[in-house]
Homo-oligomer: A and B are copies of this chain.
Amino acid sequence: MSIFDLPVSQKETGMSPRTSEQYKEMRESKRNLIMKSALKLFAKNGVFNTTINMITQDAGISKGLMYNYFKSKEDLLRSVVFQGINKLLVLFDPDHDGVLTKAELKYFIEETFRTIQEDIQFWKIYFSVLSQPQVLKIVGNKFWEILNPVSKILKNYLKNNNYKNPEIETQFFGALMDGICINYILDPDNFPLEEIKQKVIELYT
């Protein structure tokens, strides 16, 4: 058994079989409605070009209600970004303490590519936030906390597989994945994500 044995989708849908889509829809809180609209519009127009008005109209609620759920626009952005980060926590499971096998690394890479494709809206916002110094403050270093354990596990793997400089190699890997992500985001229709994935897997396993 490994950290990657249970894909995100299974975990998420791991609810009682009698839970209908309709019921799920009903239970979906206003809060999630708002965040969904925010995610969509932030990704589409950028954070600064998305007004509270646009979000509440898209969510079909009033401006005032939004402020019942979120302290401010900044709070909403933070919530949207953290929601995305938390979803990644499952993928980047920090509790893995053993040694990563080749198969597990392959699985990890595959999962990462899957999230790039699946959560493109989140990644758009995420990179937008990264490159907006003032916005970056909002998110703070939460992301690094998540990434750190992952990078440790990876470093160990690389050390065990006789890579000369595991520290540098880890940074290299991180940069590579960021670059792939940003390139896919900018032109999802033309970027050969699948082929690039194969090349990354070959390179590391």
Binding site for B on A (CB under 8 A): 44-46, 48-49, 124, 127-128, 130-135, 165, 167-169, 171-172, 174-180, 182-183, 185-186, 191-192, 195-196, 199
Cβ of A173 to closest chain B Cβ, rounded Å? 9
Partner of A46, one of B49, B124, B134: B134
Q: Cβ of A176: which chain B residues have Cβ within 8 Å of it?
A: 175-176, 179
Chain A interface, DSSP helix/strand/loop, else mixed? helix
> Complex: how many Å from CA A174 to CA B167?
22
Cβ of A192 to closest chain B Cβ, rounded Å? 6
> Complex: how many Å from CA A131 to CA B127?
6
Closest to A187 in B: B144
> Complex: how many Å from CA A187 to CA B191?
27
> Complex: how many Å from CA A185 to CA B178?
13
Q: Cβ of A49: which chain B residues have Cβ within 8 Å of it?
A: 132-134
A196 & B182 in contact (Cβ 8 Å cutoff): no
> Complex: how many Å from CA A186 to CA B143?
13
- New contact pairs (14) apart from A49-B132, A171-B191, CB-CB < 8 Å: A44-B133, A46-B131, A46-B135, A128-B131, A131-B182, A132-B132, A165-B195, A167-B192, A171-B196, A175-B196, A178-B179, A178-B182, A179-B179, A179-B182
Q: Cβ of A167: which chain B residues have Cβ within 8 Å of it?
A: 192
